Structure 1
Amino acid sequence: MHKPLSALLALLCALPLAAQDRADVEQLQKFARVYRYLTELYVDDEDMAPVVEGAIAGMLERLDPHSAYLTAEEMRSVRESIDGEFSGIGVEFNVLRDTIIVVNTVAGGPAERAGMWANDRIVRIDTTEAVGFTRADVPKHLRGKTGTKVALEVVRHGVPERLRFTLVRDRIPLNTVDAAYRVSDSVGYIKVNRFGQTTMAEFGEAYRKLGRPGALILDLQGNGGGLLDQAIGMAGFFLPRGAVVVSTEGRAVPPTDFETQSPGEDTAGRLVVLIDEASASASEIVAGAVQDWDRGIVVGRPSFGKGLVQRQIGLPDGSAVRLTVARYHTPSGRVIQRPYEKGNRREYYLDHLRRYDDRTRDSLDAGAPAYRTLRTGRTVYGGGGIRPDVVVAPDTAGYSDYYARLIRQGVVADFVNDWLDRARDSLSRRYADFEAFDAGFVPSDSLLGRLTAEGERRGVAFDAAGFAASASVVRIQLKALAAQRMFGPAAYFRVVNPSLNAAYIRATEILADWRRRGEPLLEGKN
């Protein structure tokens, strides 16, 4: 029997026996006949593996928007993301103009230990000239089994000859906490990009390094979700023992309440959770629990509305199917999943964009089912996704088509890398740390002029009106990218948040005047 067909049969066998009634068997027999006709009669000798994979994917696409087939290669990436580590050399990289550029080195990783720097250009990997690589090509060459060696040749600005490094691959963490810093003496900020195996360990460490602040901004904007147990752990960080975080129910899944298992570490401090339209699944579980228990205020834009529980079933060839088996409910009973039409994924994602064209609170709540929170009984709304207590539309005043073209074509990122090659030493002498850089560095008009000239050289025609509209945003992005490359990933958010992140700005305002702006919201008085 061909392997692709055996994989499909294995999936059927994995189902409960009761599901394998006559109709199920007849449908499988139909598929097997078509498969046999293709292998025996089709005009060309065809590799059937991708044909069967396409058939499985097509079958699942007829269902809900989140049931899916994952190839063996996709599963390897998923496992790395969930496990929170992989084996490699420990660099964050970008590919600019066909060149691999080191953006940052992982602290304590092989690359940092060997003396590699941010902005180094990797031009040779073992015996392969690293020219014309795509982003997908790079990990295939840099990653490998722990303990194996990889030889690199690197070009560094100001050094006439190539530098040669021989690195021993090691386990490299995939951090899920992007940034943690003090906004003020009493307010902390933690940015979580996804929920992986190490999230709560990272989060707890970050929180304690901040000195257990009396107020916290938990940023889940752009966080697409991840592991349920980590989401429950994060909600439990702020809730008492025994509080329901989320409930699940499905045709083959009995109603189940997931409760916090230990006393929360921060059950009384001021708390604001930031979400947006890209916050999904595990992020929505955390935001929904915080909101339903009146533990904190949710600020930002309505979340994605992904509230379907997937069960991942592995197949013999390393691929897998993700089947939706239940739905998530928040503690107040709200369904997180927004409505969808089976088999119409395109409309599902288009509807997501349309829903947030008008982001005013009244328009969002119109016609939505109302629920009551569990402590104060204030009104919250269902209908799919988590609707913030304070809706903040994105500030688009500084954005223009001209700026968007500069970003899309990589002009800004390329320019910062090239400029830092020449300016890093002088900047490092002038600014000993991030605080000095943040207080003292302002991108000059001449630097912006060089950026626009580079844009013209790269085919982005200068637009005076667009530049005038976006000049302030361009300055901030230049400064933020430079800070990231000089002082690490958190520095980027420390520059961008107070200037361009509208939800963050509103959160700081609420926390600064909690008695008048925070407490009334939690008591349902606003």
Structure 2
Amino acid sequence: MRVKYSIFLLIVPAIFHWTGLSAQNESVFNTQLNKFGQTIFYINQYYLDSVNNEKLIESAIISALSQLDPHSSYVSSSDVKSMNEPLEGNFEGVGIEFSIIRDTLTVVNTISGGPCERVGVRAGDKIVAVDGENIASKGVNNEKVFKYLRGPKGTKVLLNIVRSEVNEELVFEVLRDKIPILSLDAAYEVEPEIIYIKLNRFSANSKDEILNAMAGLKINKPKGVILDLRGNSGGYLGTALEIANMFLEKGQTIVYTEGRKMPRMDEYSNGEGFYKSGPLTILIDEGSASSSEIVAGAIQDWDRGYIVGRRSFGKGLVQQMLPLTDGSQLRLTIARYHTPSGRVIQSPYEPGDLKNYYKSFSERYSNGEYFSRDSIHFPDSLKFKTLIKGRTVYGGGGIMPDFFIPADTTKYSNYYGSLLRRGILLDYMNDMSDSKRVSWQKKYSSFDKFTKDFIIDNEMIDGLVKLADTRGVPFKKDEFEISKGAITIFMKALAARRIFGQSAYFMVINRSDDPVFDKALKIIKGEVVPEASLAL
């Protein structure tokens, strides 16, 4: 569905025949709108000090939207582009992944086919100047890096680079271009012909990313697919339809939407997907929302595969982007999503009560929902049946998995949390990878050799502890021992990513310390026999 809206707002005179209101209601509407216009007029004419009309109007818009549902919002003109970039799937820049290591901008990877790769910039290079301006200083941060390196397609930028094996600075002339923002974190072969796919958002390019990855794996007929949507908060509805279509038969409903001004619209699979039969699992958690829930709900309702993990977020409202005259936007809720069986995905809310809406999500943790499925209760009024096998599923607040896997906090400690929150673990491994990347690549010629031989030794642990101490996180032996396993796995995964790429990070994490992944793989391999009714 593609709907374009043009809205022209005239406060005086206020004649809105397009509202679809009755004559009486239209009169009341116009009276109230004129009252607002008069208020702004009086403020500008008579208020004792000068006013910022832009700020005044924006505050009024934000306040009005706050009286509606939790997801209607206002986006200022300055924020529109940055908010759309991750979903549109590209921005314009030089094409690098970077980290700031010891106050120096360091290239972690170059984007394949991007401007920097084309001129010979390499992973490990340190960018010390941009267009002659020194940027190797304590003041460098992500915001400044974006300012220096992003820019319109076709513009040139000069990069001064320090390379470890070269004695003098190298200068590269880079022509900015469109750079893809990847939504596919990983795609790899877990076991022969069993594929793992990790998607972080539903962007405009997600379908092509997945199909290109599948082509690269050269597996024509997978024996199983694990689709990981944990932490995926959603994205484009159209992309959710494309992803669900990969797994469903022709004519099967994927989702339908309905609202006060939006008649029911059903979306169906076209039957052209690459994996319409065979073992399938979808991984979800409390961070899976919106488009993730559309895909999971469709797969569950058609008994196409099994959902593994924890209950999803419960965002089932459709937002339409409505442009305003200054380039800002309203993201206005216009309809609700329904799964094929008729379930409403959206968690309950009271209009205007944003505080208690989000409080209910934090209460899931305090009420024990993350740790026991017995703490989750749905009334019988929200009971539905799947469309093939007639299994019981529930609506009214997210997707409940078929296989519930509790959160494991036994390896968490405050010390480990501090290492993560303050970026100490990441900074330490970035620094180490920067200095050892070449030797690691020579030593570990394959991922299998890396998995077998790479060890986080005491010297590496001591270095991490010392860095943490200098950053204000003193060593706590008892807490470290609790989290040592998780810390070393994370360190190894970060090293793998630097040597072998993003998928390698998940190859380490999934097979080392992930009960959700383990359960999904056992289901795929037929080692777990699903019961007749699993969702609750």
Query: What TM-score, normalized to structure 1?
Result: 0.93
Alpha-carbon shift at residue 343 of structure 1 (Å) = 1.3
CA distance in 1, matches of 2:402, 2:535: 12
Q: 1:95 to 1:34 in 2, by over 3 A?
A: farther
Map residues 120-519 of structure 1 onto 2, 5 A cutoff: 120-130=125-135, 131=137, 132-157=139-164, 159-210=166-217, 211=219, 212-356=221-365, 357-359=368-370, 360-367=372-379, 369-514=382-527, 517-518=528-529
- Aligned partners of 1:240 and 1:267 also within 8 Å: yes
Q: Bigger shift: 198-207 or 67-76? A: 198-207
- Counterpart secondary structure, 1:183: strand
Give yes or no for contact 2:400–2:535 (8 Å, CA) kept in 1.
no
Displacement of 1:127 in angstroms is: 4.1
| Helix, strand or coil at the partner of 1:76 | helix
| Whole-angstrom distance in 1 between the partners of 2:100 and 2:27 | 54
Structure 1 residue 45: deviation in Å?
Answer: 3.0
Q: Percent identity?
A: 43
Distance 2:471 2:15 in 1: 56
Higher mean C-alpha deviation, range 202-211 or range 37-46? 37-46
2:5 equivalent in structure 1:
none
Q: Which residue of 2 aligns with 1:59?
A: 64
Q: Report which stretch shifted further, 133-142 or 267-276.
A: 133-142
Distance (whole Å) between structure 2 residues aligned to residue 408 and residue 60 of structure 1: 33
2:19 corresponds in structure 1 to 17
Q: CA deviation at 1:256?
A: 1.5
Shift of 1:96: 4.9
- Match of 2:282, as an amino acid? V
Residue aligning to 1:71: 76
C-alpha separation between the residues in 2 aligned to 1:24 and 1:390?
50
2:3 maps to: none
**Residue 277 of structure 1: CA displacement?**
0.7
Alpha-carbon contact 1:297-1:522 (below 8 Å) kept: no
Q: How far apart, in 2, do the equivalents of 1:388 and 1:372 lie? A: 14
Counterpart CA distance in 2 for 1:337 and 1:196 is 21
The amino acid of 2:140's aligned partner reads F
Following the alignment from structure 1 to structure 2, what is the Cα–Cα distance between the partners of residues 458 and 92? Answer: 25
CA offsets 1:164-186 (integer angstroms, 9 cap, x no match):
22100111111111110011013
Q: For the Cα contact (< 8 Å) 1:7–1:315, is it kept in 2?
A: no
Q: CA deviation at 1:56?
A: 1.0
2:29 maps to 1:29: no
Task: Quote the residue 2:54 is aligned against.
Answer: 49
Larger deviation, residues 52-61 vs 32-41: 32-41
Q: Is the 8 A contact 1:294 1:522 kept in 2?
A: no
Secondary structure of the 1:353 match is helix
Write out per-residue CA displacement over residues 60-115 of structure 1, whole angstroms, 9 at most, x where no aligned residue.
Answer: 11110000001112211233222211211111223455443322211111112222
* Counterpart pick for 1:118 among 119, 123, 128: 123
How many residues align? The count is 518
Shift of 1:525: 11
1:38 deviates by 2.9
- Please tell me whether the aligned partners of residues 230 and 284 of structure 2 are also in contact (alpha carbons under 8 angstroms): yes
How far the C-alpha of 1:224 sits from its partner, in A, is 0.9
Flag the 1:244–1:462 CA change in 2: closer, same or farther, 3 A.
Answer: same
Equivalent residue letter for 1:28: L
Letter of the structure 2 residue corresponding to residue 114 of structure 1: V
Secondary structure, counterpart of 1:16 in structure 2: helix
Closer, same or farther in 2 for the Cα pair 1:14/1:331, shift >3 Å? farther
Q: Does the aligned pair in 2 maintain the 1:246–1:330 contact within 8 Å?
A: yes
CA deviation string 1:430-466 (max 9, x = no partner) = 1123332222101101210110011101110110011
Deviation readout 1:225-254 (Å, 9 max, x if unpaired): 111111111111111111001111111111
What do residues 347-375 of structure 1 show as CA deviations (whole Å, max 9, x unaligned)?
21121121243232232244362110000
Q: Is the 8 A contact 2:255 2:266 kept in 1?
A: yes
Q: Is the 8 A contact 1:395 1:500 kept in 2?
A: no
Any stretches of 5+ residues in structure 1 without a counterpart? Answer: 1-5
- Distance in 1 separating the partners of 2:125 and 2:10: 47
Cα 1:427–1:500 change in 2 (3 A) is same
Distance 2:103 2:225 in 1: 41
The residue identity in structure 2 corresponding to 1:282 is: S
| Contact 2:229 2:282 (8 Å CA) reproduced | yes
More deviation, 98-107/367-376: 98-107
Q: 1:414 to 1:15 in 2, by over 3 A?
A: farther
Cα distance change on mapping 1:60 and 1:444 into 2, 3 Å: same
**What residue identity is the alignment partner of 2:18?**
P
User: Which residue of 2 is the match for residue 3 of structure 1?
Assistant: none
The DSSP-based 3-state class of the residue aligned with 2:376 is helix
Range with bigger deviation, 266-275 or 100-109: 100-109
TM-score normalized by the length of structure 2: 0.91
For 2:513 and 2:433, locate their aligned partners in 1 and report how far apart those are by CA, in whole Å: 23
